[in-house]
Amino acid sequence: MSDTNTERWKTVKLPKGLSERIDEFVISKDAYRLGLTSNSQVVAHAIRQFLESSGFDRSTEHEPIQ
């Protein structure tokens, strides 16, 4: 992994059951409709929604997920 990549990303541990649910969702039609094609995209999308609904998202743009 390049230094640039490690500076832009964090690793978060999830309970196995939650990770398995994300695995299932990422291959679903709902994920496809949302344009979410990876676990990272699903998690980032869910966290953004949570932060926005909680009033904690103050950013005006989203970092792209690769």
Give me the amino acid identity at 51: L
The pLDDT tens digits of the residues spanning 38-58 come to 999 999 999 999 998 998 866
The model's pTM: 0.74
For residue 51, CA distances in Å to 45, 59, 60 come to 10, 10, 13
Q: Give the whole-angstrom CA distance, residue 20 versus residue 31.
A: 15
The confidence score (pLDDT) of residue 34 equals: 96
pLDDT confidence bin for 20, thresholds 50/70/90? very high
pLDDT category, 62, cuts 50, 70, 90?
Answer: low
pLDDT number for residue 60: 58
CB-count burial class (<10 Å; 0-12, 13-18, 19+) for 57: middle
